[in-house]
Structure 1
Amino acid sequence: MSESIPSSVTGFAHRRPRSDSVASFKYFQEEDESPDWSEDQAVVDDDESAISFVKPGESSYDYDAEPALDSDEHRRSSAYSRTGAEDSLLLRRESAKSDFSGFERESRTSQKLYIVSEDLTIVIAGFSTRNLGFAIYVASCILTLGLAYLVLRWLPSWRVRLVGTSRPLRDCDWVVIEVRSPFRRRNSRAVTKRNQNQWGEMSVQNLGREAYGQGLSTVFGQKTLKRRSSEYDEDDDPILYELCTLDYRYIRLCYHPVRDKFLLGSDWTDPSWTSVKSMRVGLDSEERHQREQVFGRNEINIEEKSVFQLLVDEALHPFYIFQVASLILWSLDEYYYYAICIFLISVVSITTTLVETRATMKRLREVSRFECGVRVLSNGFWRQVSSSELVPGDVYEISDPSLTHFPCDGLLLTGDCIVNESMLTGESVPVSKIPVIKESLHLLGNSSNMMPPELAKHFLFNGTKIIRARRPQEGQDEEAVALAIVIRTGFNTTKGALVRSMLFPKPSGFKFYRDAFRYISVMAGVAAVGFVASFVNFVRLGLAWHLILVRALDLITIVVPPALPATLTIGTNFALSRLKKKDIFCISPQRVNVGGKLDILCFDKTGTLTEDGLDVLGVRVVHRPAMRFSDVHEDAQMLLPGASYEMDPTVDYRIHQAILYTMATCHSLREVDGELLGDPLDVKMFEFTDWRFEEMGQKAGDDDEGAPPGPSAIARPPLGFNTRIEEVEGHQDTPVELGVLKSFEFVSQLRRASVVVGQSGSTGGDVYVKGAPECMNEICDPQTLPNDYEDLLGYYTHRGFRVIACATKHITSLDWLQVRKMTRQNAESDLTFLGFIIFENKLKEATTEVIEELNEANIRNVMCTGDNILTAISVARECNLIDRTAHCFVPHFLEGDFRDPKARLQWRSIDNMLFELDEHTLMPMPAPAEADASLPPDVSNVWNYSLAVSGDVFRWVIEYANPEVLQRMLAKGQVFARMSPDEKHELVEKFQSIDYCCGFCGDGANDCGALKAADVGISLSEAEASVAAPFTSRVFDISCVPEVIREGRAALVTSFCCFKYMSLYSAIQFTSVSFLYASASNLGDFQFLFIDIFLVLPVAIFMGWTGAYPTLCAKRPTASLVSRKVLTPLMGQILLCILIQAIGFVVVRRKSWYIPPVLNTEKSNIENSENTTLYGVSSFQYIFSGIVLSVGPPFRQTMRNNLPFVVTVVTTSLPHGKKKRKEYKLVLADMRM
């Protein structure tokens, strides 16, 4: 089967539930987290002092109610949360030991919550304002002229400590939310008590409170009421008199008074949604008003800050405040020209930032905000309303021609539609949706993070484009319309998740920026030392006090350059611009630098490495009674006798007819404007038959038991094409029509799809199944499998062909009631095997070239596919992802299966079955004596090998194998086949757990989880922005991968170059000024102006203009500032610059023309030989530092390709003014003597 699932989406919130964050929190008090008991299951932490219990099925994702937690992970993480409690900023309050009633125990003051969709661990702590503390806060702000306000704004925890007092969540006025984004856990060496790869974030949020007066279940759903009845006295659904809500990052949480915590309401379901018929009733006005209170309006409305708010946020940034202080300092020192220039630059910078921010937010608001008119069923009548008024439970019409996009997340109730979901998944193939059935309703509101395929085929996602929506076929009823029910609205929808991912991108865990700011703090310490030294020296020289303070403080502005943060983003911005020109778009700029560190890349196969379209090579059917495969039928007309050839009496043509009928009916195609839409494999298969296809529309719903269901589609043979075996035998000629009565969509776990088909003029019916050859053993009668089944399958899969197996079952008597009640298990059992359909899966033109380029760059390539393992190996070898001369070992279960913890694996080479691996170490066993001596020497070398692993073996190794086997599998595995979407996701996380920087490239269909989990995810999609991945390429091949890596490496190197240049600039100027301060001299106003504005700034900017080097090399750029490789050369260059200035400073004093500075206690003397010498020497040091640090190959182009930088260097190297040229010549001539 195809790897893509055109009728389903596997999920858009692709984060596995984590047991805990390794972060520690200031405000979390573990005593507040009283255990929630579950009658079904409890997972207990091994720390007796901090026991947490897992309640399955909860939707809140709270730590004491988190489903599917791994107990080992949970035990490992508990130590970290305890660390946070011990370091708690606030005193720990002792809470009473609770019974199960939230009303009878002391309320908790804080809670920990894990939000799966955002991969966030947050702590919510309740506070109230303390009057005395608030008064002190206001007074200190006034008395310090706003300085206290700034300090407490930058250090919000201090403000909370001063103003707030801890209060129970039920009574608090506002809350503090502390955030950790839990990055993947590395090996034990990389994990510390406080994870150093996490950025903490804290915010203060107000609560919304309003009168409500409805039952708890209307807010939290029915499942939160499945508790012990003693909690609620006599009422099973107590009244919630006040609705307390908390909106954080556009996620709404509601306070549950019984559970005494805030819970998410994003997966709320109405208890009445038990059948399709009940869902079609709609809501009355009172219910709509009540649900709007709980869920808000159906708007993705991004809060737009005013110009004043943006100005305040930007201007009050610590670096701008530092600049303001510097401007005041320079003005007091009469550096007016320089201060004015810096002021104008700051104003331009702030203005530019405001304009860009406003424009970006405006574009995002335009993309996210959508409002249209919809027809809604309310109080039993249809009325036109705005889509912003929709609430969960509303029933609206989707067959309205004016409706072009779905305004919310919903379920299709009646009719059918075809939609384009590329914005969400990157899947360019249109997706068909069919009405929901009762059996799928129980999947609504489950706490799983993945959208079940059984539900996704009925689910309508907000923002997806409607290609076609058809009304149901209701006999003569022309009033029937296609209906959908609203499930989620606003930011709770998938489109809301996409917008949130743009507003709050996931931190990359990249340490460069954190190290840069640490370096700044070190330089600030150096500045403090310089301040003290200068202060003492100036006092010794007897300078005026105002001059002492001004000069000493001026050193701080020199050592800590305010422009440093801006220069660190130069390389990233240039890289993004170059990528955009190549049709590669990025919604997460910080991922660009991460792309430069990739050392492993996982590729999907179909649609990524190979073409989407598959050409049918032919069909091979089973010959009975010989029980062997026939020759290849390269034309569908060759399957049945007719004009092309005479009937062979030894052939059972019923098998030929059945496989032809399978290809004509077992697919998920839809017809729009005469064009077939659907999975490319299905399209090619159906076109191979030359049949005609006609859709008949869907019935109103499964709950309408009165009317028998008609076929959803009819397949007809081409005119003149003989398809009836009876006709050959002389029976009456009647037209053939195959009607699809019921479909079981492709499910990745089952790896097959099936249809129930009725034939015109027949009282019986048939089940036709197509799927992976591996699954046929489970569903087919073993007696119908040919003797050469495995041999033929191996023959084609070894050569890279795609093989689909077909099977059938005849039902002698079939009525509509049987069809209605038929389950998938009944339909797909006791089948008769028919044969193989063989597809050619051609590589894309760019695949081999890109794989070879990545191999040469020593970047490991891995295939991760849902296809057959032998086919995957063949494709991998064809594109050189696997060495063609290397052994490839494939595991098989020797005992048991993937469900058996005691199962045993046997690893054998597919090239020579005599070669095996040790099952405990995955190391090659000695080559047997009978090994084929004719093999080439490099193939005979068993140590040259790779692994190919199937999904079931991958699952068993992760769950039951010893760690050594898992590590070896991850280290040597090159092909991972038959992988489900969830297993692809887990594979990426496993690679990351062993310190790989992992990228994933896929078409977005079933790869959403892996794309988002990867350090760098690249989706091949037509959409500019996709929730599937941070990078999206409109070029539909993997040529985008080396481009991202090249630009990532160039951006990373540029960031390091700019950082080191700004560090050198600070050190050089600090040295010059320090030497001059020794004699109470200084640089002049225009000298500072020339250095900072006309020399350093252009060099720093144009240094980042250099493009990426076209060839990827095996060497990778460093990503850590705190390393000897970076700091040693930097310190060496700083010392060299200091030494050169020191030589100039000493030498100039010995010259006959030396003009010593005249001591002036009121102002600095700048007209002296020391000033001229140090200014000239330092100016060339700035220029030469830029040249030295402008790194070229192997990561960036050579300097000569950067014309603006070359012009800047040449221009700034020329002395300006006759007097200066004369002074430079004199100084340089004397220094040579």
Structure 2
Amino acid sequence: MSRFHIGGKVVDSVDFLQKRHWAWRLDLWPFAIIYGVWLMAIVPILDAGDAFIVLGSLVAIHILVFLFTVWSVDFKCFVQYTKVNDIHRADTCKVTPAKFSGSKEIVPLHFRKLAGSSNSVDVEEIYFDFRKQRFIYSKEKNTFCKLPYPSKEKIGYYIKNTGYGTDAKVVAATEKWGRNVFEGSVTYILGKSVGDPLEKAALKGIEWSYKSDEKSMPKKGGGNAVQIVQRHHFASHLKRMGVVVRVQEQFFAFVKGAPETIQERLVDVPAFYMKTYKKHTRQGSRVLALAYKSLPDMTVSEARSLEREVVESGLTFAGFVVFNCPIRGDSATILTELKGSSHDLVMITGDQALTACHVAGQVNIISKPALILVNGKNSGEYEWVSPDETDIIKYSENEAEALSESYDLCIGGDCIEMLQQTSGILKVIPYVKVFARVAPEQKELIMTTFKSVGRVTLMCGDGTNDVGALKQAHIGVALLNAIPPAQKEKSSSEAPSKNDSAKSGKSKKLKSLVENGEGPSKSRAVSKSESTSNQAVNRHLTAAEMQREKLKKLMNELNEEGDGRSAPVVKLGDASMASPFTAKHASIAPTTDVIRQGRSTLVTTLQMFKILGLNCLATAYVLSVMNLDGVKLGDVQATISGVFTAAFFLFISHARPLPTLSAERPHPNIFCSYVFLSLLGQFAVHLFFLISSVKEAEKYMPDECIEPDSDFHPNLVNTVSYMVGMMLQVATFAVNYMGHPFNQSISENKPFLYALLGAVGFFTVITSDLFRDLNDWLKLVPLPRALRDKLMIWALLMFLCCYTWERLLRWAFPGKMPAWRKRQQHVAATIEKKKSL
């Protein structure tokens, strides 16, 4: 069996391959034989020139075969590998990912003996790594399975487990699962706290500081230090996090999280609880609920072994922490520009639905009344509810499209789970404008749903939670937090706030801390002295001292990696690994840059193909039909023509995109009615102009028979054909230049404008025969006055016909409008019609 169908979320199937010996690769031995045949059979019977032409063709084919192995994974497998049925004969495998999960890859297949096994017989493990995930072969299931982690075992499994008592077991576990490194939200580096801007804003708001030894204390003194004993990190599916701390000799459990999550874990819920947090979320603030409970006397080891459920249950409400996160000044402007350029805007966030709707309204993502899908009063029934709870509409998945015509819809992560269970994903998600409280895998699901209904997606993300969705989007833009340059000491008092703002992209400021109650008693300040070891830098170290320094350095590295309790440096930039574009700033402005540059590149490519096509058609006629009549070009003439062509191509490729995005979209490819009709129409005009001009010139020439293979010599027909050809070339560039609404117009692209004017002036001069010496150098004969006037008039008419035809086609065949945009325009027209009645 050479293929395993896995059918997972990441991998669909795996094919077993064995690498061919280099001598038996299909891109080597067949060509070695062909080259030998060429040397032994072709070279003796052909001239040297013809033989080398054959060799060049063979080399070109060989190069194409090599390039196809780079371009296509399937072709590379066919050329360099053979399929095998026995897994033990395979050394490589071709991994076919699941739909919308990327492209195929060739990865090595690993075989190893498990270390540290207690059995006398070694156990062989077969696995491959694909996108930082390990898949292990299971003999029982006869397929590959994702590496399992012992996180959902029965309680008896953990009771019997005695840990890793030997170095061999530690090595075996490390090889299997890797190091378990905790990444905290805030850590202490080089004398300052770095990490989550929200956490830093909270510490700043309550005027506390966090130190490297897991301690937090008031900045101004007068209180007790809080020692963190155990952490239960934030989980997106739990929507909360908790810590066990020690204040003096007493232990407390502190928990924070989403208000609706903490509400379920409170012993007593205040009457104002829901009303208060909904009030702040409707105003666009980010609200977290705080809760705590006292723990009985215990040892530190017992506190560290407390289960999460014990720590985060039976809590006492402490208050709400409300964060005011002002929107970046350019966000609304940029999103308005995107909306006006025929783009549909959707917000995907982990914030509460009321907060998300408020922010979406401020940045013009939603413009109609909002409806939020919530679980109704009756169990199992869902309702569309307005943010102020005045409008309530019964939910029906078949009415989502009609409802989106009058309202902007918002759903949460729990509703997405309901849609998955009822198979309503495709009926609802394409019409939703705001997604709130979504988990990372749900973000990925949203992007795949949009792609499955034919949407072309661009997504911005700035964190690890966005990695899956960024990979699924057609265009991913990772937003990184820019590090500002070092500021001078004169503004040191303002530096912290400015640095925080620059690093986070938002000014996260604490609005109010406690609505009801207070936390534990105020604590006293504890000072801490820091030791330095700079005294032994300038003297030679003994062998023992060098060994101690080496061990000290190793311990520092291990502490930086983390031991399960300390918080190491947060690793930033995960989003940039999953997206093709990375912005160094937190602003969404790069999205408009990507679209603007993409549209400019697309229209430039289209006009290049059109210009090349028209030039090639005219040149083909000159070099074929007219060449049989003896029409030729001189060397100087061909050189001048090539110089003008190169200059034109250079200058049109440097056209800059317009600063404002247009609502009109460019044509996505060259295989469309607009391009074909434009080429055929313009070529018909060019051909008519060329044939008419040459026929007119023949009336002024005596009848003579010119051999096609004869040398070039100036005559009236050659002169007219050269002038007409250059006029066609200039007209082609001028007519097919794509300016507004995507690029600079001809008048704004000064180098191209001057090149066109120079070409027109040059050909006006040589046609008018103002400088006879110049025409003699170009080997152009004088034109009769009547013929010269006709050429000038016909050239003008040719340009006007082509220009009119091109503009007519651009009006008749605009860029394709997406289906959702057509639906919006139809709805808007219907509403306007009803208003007029």
TM-score if structure 2 supplies the norm length? 0.68
2:493 aligned residue:
none
Partners in 2 of 1:1060 and 1:1157 — Cα distance? 37
Tell me if the contact between 2:701 and 2:716 (Cα under 8 Å) persists in the aligned partners. Answer: yes
Tell me if the contact between 1:918 and 1:924 (Cα under 8 Å) persists in the aligned partners. Answer: no
1:891 aligned residue:
373
Partners in 2 of 1:1125 and 1:1086 — Cα distance? 37
- The C-alpha deviation readout for 1:970-1021, integer Å capped at 9, x for no partner, is 3321111111222222212211111111111122343222223222212222
Partners in 2 of 1:1034 and 1:163 — Cα distance? 41
1:32 aligned residue:
2
2:591 aligned residue:
1041
Q: Which has the higher helix share?
A: 2
| Structure 1: unaligned runs, 5 residues or longer | 1-30, 34-62, 79-110, 114-122, 186-197, 209-214, 284-392, 394-437, 446-453, 459-666, 697-711, 721-734, 898-902, 927-941
Asked whether 1:1075 is paired with 2:629, we answer no
Asked whether 1:669 is paired with 2:153, we answer no
- The C-alpha deviation readout for 1:823-881, integer Å capped at 9, x for no partner, is 11211112122221111111111011112112222311111111111111111112221
1:331 aligned residue:
none
* Counterpart among 748, 753, 756 of residue 236 in structure 2: 748
2:682 aligned residue:
1133
Partners in 2 of 1:977 and 1:952 — Cα distance? 10
2:425 aligned residue:
966
Shift of 1:171: 12
Q: Structure 1 residues 456 and 1069, CA, compared in 2 at 3 Å: closer, same or farther?
A: farther
Q: Structure 1 residues 172 and 139, CA, compared in 2 at 3 Å: closer, same or farther?
A: farther
Matching of residues 790-869 of structure 1 within 5 Å: 790-869=274-353
Asked whether 1:687 is paired with 2:204, we answer yes
Q: Give the match's secondary structure for 2:455.
A: coil
- The C-alpha deviation readout for 1:1003-1062, integer Å capped at 9, x for no partner, is 234322222322221222258993242222223312222222112111111111111111
Tell me if the contact between 2:408 and 2:433 (Cα under 8 Å) persists in the aligned partners. Answer: yes
2:644 aligned residue:
1095
Tell me if the contact between 1:1021 and 1:1036 (Cα under 8 Å) persists in the aligned partners. Answer: yes
Partners in 2 of 1:1083 and 1:947 — Cα distance? 68
Partners in 1 of 2:94 and 2:715 — Cα distance? 56
The percentage of counterpart residues that share the same residue type is: 22
Tell me if the contact between 1:1103 and 1:1190 (Cα under 8 Å) persists in the aligned partners. Answer: yes
Asked whether 1:906 is paired with 2:383, we answer yes
2:64 aligned residue:
154
1:986 aligned residue:
445
Partners in 1 of 2:135 and 2:301 — Cα distance? 45
Asked whether 1:112 is paired with 2:15, we answer yes
- The C-alpha deviation readout for 1:896-918, integer Å capped at 9, x for no partner, is 98xxxxx4422223345334154
Q: Structure 1 residues 1222 and 199, CA, compared in 2 at 3 Å: closer, same or farther?
A: farther
2:803 aligned residue:
none
Partners in 2 of 1:1095 and 1:1055 — Cα distance? 19
Partners in 2 of 1:175 and 1:1169 — Cα distance? 72
Q: Give the match's secondary structure for 2:670.
A: coil
Tell me if the contact between 2:136 and 2:145 (Cα under 8 Å) persists in the aligned partners. Answer: no
Shift of 1:1126: 2.1
Partners in 1 of 2:125 and 2:103 — Cα distance? 40
Instruction: Compute the RMSD of aligned alpha carbons.
Output: 4.7
Partners in 2 of 1:967 and 1:160 — Cα distance? 37
Amino acid at match of 2:294: H
Partners in 2 of 1:175 and 1:1226 — Cα distance? 80
Asked whether 1:139 is paired with 2:42, we answer no
Asked whether 1:1218 is paired with 2:775, we answer yes
Shift of 1:719: 3.1
Q: Structure 1 residues 133 and 691, CA, compared in 2 at 3 Å: closer, same or farther?
A: closer
Shift of 1:134: 7.3
Q: Structure 1 residues 808 and 1229, CA, compared in 2 at 3 Å: closer, same or farther?
A: same
Q: Give the match's secondary structure for 2:595.
A: helix
- The C-alpha deviation readout for 1:343-374, integer Å capped at 9, x for no partner, is xxxxxxxxxxxxxxxxxxxxxxxxxxxxxxxx
- The C-alpha deviation readout for 1:124-180, integer Å capped at 9, x for no partner, is 676783999677434234345534343244246999999999674779999999898
Q: Give the match's secondary structure for 2:747.
A: helix
Amino acid at match of 1:794: K
Amino acid at match of 2:372: V
Q: Structure 1 residues 752 and 816, CA, compared in 2 at 3 Å: closer, same or farther?
A: same
1:882 aligned residue:
366
Partners in 1 of 2:205 and 2:365 — Cα distance? 31
Tell me if the contact between 2:187 and 2:195 (Cα under 8 Å) persists in the aligned partners. Answer: yes
Matching of residues 204-283 of structure 1 within 5 Å: 216-218=111-113, 235-237=121-123, 278=166
TM-score if structure 1 supplies the norm length? 0.48
1:638 aligned residue:
none
* Counterpart among 693, 698, 713 of residue 1149 in structure 1: 698
Asked whether 1:1199 is paired with 2:746, we answer yes
Q: Structure 1 residues 1046 and 824, CA, compared in 2 at 3 Å: closer, same or farther?
A: same
1:953 aligned residue:
415
Q: Structure 1 residues 1010 and 254, CA, compared in 2 at 3 Å: closer, same or farther?
A: closer
How many pairs are equivalent?
A: 656
Asked whether 1:771 is paired with 2:257, we answer yes
Tell me if the contact between 1:695 and 1:714 (Cα under 8 Å) persists in the aligned partners. Answer: no
Partners in 1 of 2:111 and 2:81 — Cα distance? 29
Q: Structure 1 residues 873 and 1183, CA, compared in 2 at 3 Å: closer, same or farther?
A: same
2:24 aligned residue:
129
Amino acid at match of 1:887: P
Shift of 1:949: 1.0
2:508 aligned residue:
none
2:476 aligned residue:
1017
Q: Give the match's secondary structure for 2:220.
A: coil
- The C-alpha deviation readout for 1:180-221, integer Å capped at 9, x for no partner, is 888749xxxxxxxxxxxx9999x9x9x99xxxxxx9534xx5
Matching of residues 439-458 of structure 1 within 5 Å: 444=177, 455=180, 457=182
Partners in 1 of 2:392 and 2:246 — Cα distance? 51
| Structure 2: unaligned runs, 5 residues or longer | 43-50, 70-74, 151-160, 484-572, 767-773, 795-837
Tell me if the contact between 1:807 and 1:833 (Cα under 8 Å) persists in the aligned partners. Answer: yes
Amino acid at match of 1:691: W
Q: Give the match's secondary structure for 1:1006.
A: helix
Partners in 2 of 1:1101 and 1:1162 — Cα distance? 35
Tell me if the contact between 1:741 and 1:756 (Cα under 8 Å) persists in the aligned partners. Answer: yes
- The C-alpha deviation readout for 1:589-617, integer Å capped at 9, x for no partner, is xxxxxxxxxxxxxxxxxxxxxxxxxxxxx
Amino acid at match of 1:457: F
Partners in 2 of 1:199 and 1:687 — Cα distance? 46
* Counterpart among 459, 463, 471 of residue 1000 in structure 1: 459
Shift of 1:756: 0.6
Asked whether 1:1123 is paired with 2:600, we answer no
* Counterpart among 1156, 1172, 1190 of residue 719 in structure 2: 1172
Partners in 2 of 1:1067 and 1:768 — Cα distance? 77
Amino acid at match of 2:396: E
Shift of 1:1090: 2.6
Partners in 2 of 1:877 and 1:802 — Cα distance? 16
Tell me if the contact between 1:739 and 1:758 (Cα under 8 Å) persists in the aligned partners. Answer: yes
1:654 aligned residue:
none
